[in-house]
């Protein structure tokens, strides 16, 4: 598998196991970064299939982190992601690079940004919970809290 396709697949696999928003944002960051700089290098059909399988496995987890009113846009963005991977083929001349059209790029960027924002909110909530737990622990040590 190409180095970049491998990174994308790894991020998608991690996204299924947890921290979905962070890892999907990371996968899209790799894809869009490479596409913007040089285009996506040709990818063999087996590796493309592996990447499509990883994307299919993560779709439910991605939908679960979004509000119901955002899920149609998420589905359109995931469909754009799938289309880009499907077009990422081995038949291209080695010097040919897959380019992502403007509308799909916008959908992928929207999903990347939305996932990144969710990841930030989750991190802020985790840090607030740590601060609360620390404060409660200190109060208990001082005898101000029961139990």
Asked whether residue 145 is assigned to any structural domain, the reply reads no
Confirm whether 43 is domain-assigned. yes
Is residue 110 included in any domain, yes or no?
yes
C-alpha–C-alpha distance, residues 77 and 8, integer Å: 16
21 confidence band (pLDDT: 50, 70, 90) = very high
38-83 pLDDT, tens digit each: 777 778 888 888 899 999 999 999 999 999 999 999 999 999 999 9
Q: How far apart are CA 7 and CA 5, in angstroms?
A: 5
Helix, strand, coil percent values for the chain (each to nearest 5): 75, 0, 20
What's the confidence (pLDDT) of residue 1? 46
In a domain, 146, yes or no: no
Provide the number of structural domains found in the chain.
1
Find the domain containing 28 and state its range: 3-116
Q: Is the full-model pTM beyond 0.95? A: no
pLDDT at 142 over 90: no
For residue 99, how many other CB atoms are within 10 A of its CB? 14
CA–CA gap between residue 97 and residue 89 (Å, rounded): 9
Residue 34 falls inside a structural domain:
yes
Q: Which residues contact 4 (CB under 8 A, 6 or more apart)?
A: 30, 31, 34, 40, 41
SS3 80: helix
Does a structural domain hold residue 41?
yes
């Amino acid at each position: 598998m190409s180095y970049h396709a491998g990174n994308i697949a790894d991020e998608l696999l991690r996204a299924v196991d947890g921290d979905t928003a962070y890892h999907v944002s990371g996968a899209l960051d790799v894809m869009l970064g490479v596409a913007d700089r040089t285009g996506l290098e040709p990818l063999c059909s087996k590796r493309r299939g592996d990447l499509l399988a990883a994307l299919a496995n993560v779709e439910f987890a991605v939908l679960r982190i979004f509000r119901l009113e955002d899920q149609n846009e998420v589905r359109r963005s995931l469909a754009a992601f799938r289309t880009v991977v499907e077009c990422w083929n081995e038949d291209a001349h080695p010097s040919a690079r897959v380019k992502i059209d403007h509308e799909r790029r916008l959908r992928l960027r929207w999903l990347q940004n939305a996932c990144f924002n969710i990841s930030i909110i989750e991190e802020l909530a985790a840090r607030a919970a740590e601060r609360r737990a620390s404060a409660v622990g200190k109060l208990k040590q001082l005898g101000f809290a029961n139990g």
